[in-house]
Amino acid sequence: MSDFNQLTDPVTQQVIGKSMDFQAKKRRVESRFPMGPFTDAYQTGLQQLCGVDEMNLQQNIRQHRVREGIKPIKGVKNIIAVASGKGGVGKSSMSVMLARSLQQLGANVGLLDADIYGPSIPKMLGVSQKPESPDQKSFLPVDADGLQTMSLGYILGEKDPAIWRGAMVTKALMQMIEDTRWSKLDYLIMDLPPGTGDIQLTMIQKIPVSAAVLITTPQDIALLDAQKALAMFNKVDIPVLGVIENMSTFTCENCGHEAHIFGQHGGQKMAEEFAVPLLGQMPLNIEIRTNMDEGTPDKVWNPGQKLQEKASMMALRTAQNLAKLPIKFSLTDSLKLHKI
């Protein structure tokens, strides 16, 4: 149960507290996710949350500071970039899990597929319709069970990879973000292309990113690349909320033996060495592989799998760590802004 005690701490109440009665919010979340009962620990956490002071629940998720000189995106409070140095470590899968879990905690969430070369979010969410454009100038985000999503994959189609280079990529992405009519998003999760090259650097410099989350497997090679990603965010002063270690262990369905296929404690070591929080460890699990590949991500949260609890904790820690960062307008900012 333990970890769920965090749900009642003041920072968390700010994070998930919105101007809506919690029970109503819970019912709305449950009706959207007909995936079976929550695990006991999650249920206990929710009950604890119901008992907290109503006043705290009225607070909104706040907008956090971005790099100076960058305009915020209309309708979006916080963009969280999800990055990995190495490809294939589960960055898109973890972006989907993070987005869904933040949504389950009651936030308004969007998911932007910035992996312009290999947009996999439409397939993972099982959504393929083209975004509507009522005014022929802007796009409405594509709805995926309450998630506001956008991907070049919706526009180009999955089998039509973008062959643009450098500046064109950033331009296409900026256009996609700015021309989407996001509505009242607390968090926009942005799935970046893998790597730490010029393209990724330009993207994070131009987009008003509040913070980043790193995905790695415990393998040395993936960790080295994750460290490069950390250095990239440090270079442009974007705070890193933490690291998620994906594919951390594998438990045999038949004998229950736990194997560390990609090594052990890699994410933890990285967290300790570079003083970045470990947001969570996600096992190598067949449910994740099949459901992400078949476009049924919500089935990942089968009762008894404990995956839902892991995903919720990962999302909660992410939101908590963001809540601890400076908000968009500090008192000094606002004094400067109003020339007082």
197 binds ligand ATP (CB under 6 A): no
Q: Which is nearer to ligand ATP, 39 or 216 (CB)?
A: 216
**Cα distances (angstroms) measured from residue 231 to each of 3, 169, 191, 225:** 30, 22, 18, 10
Is 90 labelled as part of a ligand binding site?
yes
Least CB distance to ligand ATP at residue 184 (A): 27
Q: Rounded to the nearest 10 degrees, how much is the dihedral formed by the CA atoms of 46, 47, 49, 50?
A: 120
At residue 108, what are phi and psi to the nearest 5 degrees?
-90, 120
Q: Which of 284, 313, 316, 323 binds ligand ATP (CB under 6 A)?
A: 284
Q: Report how far residue 16's alpha carbon sits from residue 106's, in angstroms, rounded to the nearest whole number.
A: 6
Is 52 labelled as part of a ligand binding site?
no
Nearest C-alpha neighbor of 26 from the set 10, 42, 2, 3: 42
**What would the x/- binding string for ligand ATP be over residues 81 to 120, using CB under 6 A?**
---x--xxxxxxx---------------------x--x-x
267 binds ligand ATP (CB under 6 A): no
Q: Per CB under 6 A, which of residues 124..143 are in contact with ligand ATP?
A: none
**What would the x/- binding string for ligand ATP be over residues 221 to 260, using CB under 6 A?**
-------------------------xx-------------
Residues in the chain: 340
Q: Which of 285, 308, 320, 321 binds ligand ATP (CB under 6 A)?
A: 285
Q: Report how far residue 84's alpha carbon sits from residue 120's, in angstroms, rounded to the nearest whole number.
A: 15
Q: Report how far residue 10's alpha carbon sits from residue 219's, in angstroms, rounded to the nearest whole number.
A: 36
Is 45 labelled as part of a ligand binding site?
no
Q: Tell me if residue 76 falls in helix, strand or coil.
A: strand
In this structure, what DSSP letter does residue 328 have? S
- The answer to whether 45 and 309 are in contact (CB under 8 A) is no
277 binds ligand ATP (CB under 6 A): no
Q: Which is nearer to ligand ATP, 115 or 309 (CB)?
A: 115
Q: Which is nearer to ligand ATP, 216 or 321 (CB)?
A: 216
Could you list the residues that contact ligand ATP (CB under 6 A)? Answer: 84, 87-93, 115, 118, 120, 194, 246-247, 282, 284-285, 288-289, 292-293
**Residues in binding site:** 85-92
**Residues in binding site for ATP:** 85-92
